[in-house]
Amino acid sequence: MSWPEDALSRDETIITSFRPHWKLLFIPFVWFVGVLVVIGLSFGFVSSLAPWISLIVLLAGLYLVVRPLVNWWFTRYVLTSERLITRQGLIAQSGVEIPLERITNVNFSQTVFERMLGAGDLLIESAGSSGQSSFSNIPRPDQFQTTLYKIREQRTIELSGRSVAPTETTTEFKPHAADSIKRLAELRDQGLISAEEYEEKRMKLLDEI
């Protein structure tokens, strides 16, 4: 299941996209084997009740096996050049989007067993209302932390480098020149300098701007 391109902005690109670690499928697999064993035993020892037992076990299997599998399949973690995205759910969906420039800290944790499997959890701290966001059962959380820091740094540099250059037609008065012109006008109005002297000095000040 690829990430929909229409969910990205114009210049946004996908860095990496993945589902939770496969260890989440271990328990559903055990339940699946158990369902098959129970159904087989029900036909071998209690033949008269086998259809009903099989139906009950099958319904339980749908909940214990299919539900976790669907949740795993429809949970996605997506790191783009602009944000970190999570999506969960098949019909009723939920998710989190964190702009990279708002991420302040990323911590990962692993138990000994998770380290052997290459799984772990991420705790992402970000500025704003979201505060902390926890991402559980991430494949290779240490590598993903490094990648996230690197992309965040690139994003920060990109945003800081964006500046609007002034156009050639823009006129900006320096504060000291504007004050000098104002004082000259007051001297002219008081009769201390002539209109010709005021105009001459005003033009010199304007040339300095």
Residues contacting residue 187 through CB under 8 Å, at least 6 positions apart: 193, 198
Whether pLDDT at 107 is above 70: yes
pLDDT confidence tier of residue 14, bands split at 50, 70 and 90: confident
Residues contacting residue 17 through CB under 8 Å, at least 6 positions apart: 2, 3, 76, 77, 78, 79
Query: What CA–CA distance (Å, rounded) separates 169 from 134?
Result: 51
Please give the pLDDT value at position 89.
78
Whether pLDDT at 206 is above 80: no
Please give the pLDDT value at position 36.
78
Residue with the bigger pLDDT between 20 and 43: it is: 20
Write out pLDDT tens, residues 108-130.
888 898 889 999 998 888 876 56
Query: What CA–CA distance (Å, rounded) separates 151 from 12?
Result: 12
Residue with the bigger pLDDT between 22 and 92: it is: 22
% of the chain exceeding 70 in pLDDT: 75
Please give the pLDDT value at position 48.
62
Element (DSSP H or E) covering residue 112: helix 112-117
Whether pLDDT at 40 is above 60: yes
Burial 143-179 (b: 16+ CB within 10 A, else e): ebbeebeebbeebeeeeeeeeeeeeeeeeeeeeebee
Please give the pLDDT value at position 196.
75
For residue 180, which phi and psi values (nearest 5 degrees)? -65, -40
Write out pLDDT tens, residues 145-177.
899 989 988 888 887 766 544 444 444 444 555
Query: What CA–CA distance (Å, rounded) separates 174 from 177?
Result: 5
Beta strands in 52-159 (DSSP E): 76-80, 83-88, 94-99, 103-109, 119-126, 132-139
Write out pLDDT tens, residues 81-103.
889 988 887 776 777 888 888 88
Tokens describing residue 66? 């299919």
Tokens describing residue 168? 């050639």
Segment 24-39 mean pLDDT: 83
Segment 168-188 mean pLDDT: 61
Mean pLDDT over the full length of the chain: 78
Contact between residue 148 and residue 84 where contact means Cβ atoms under 8 Å apart:
yes
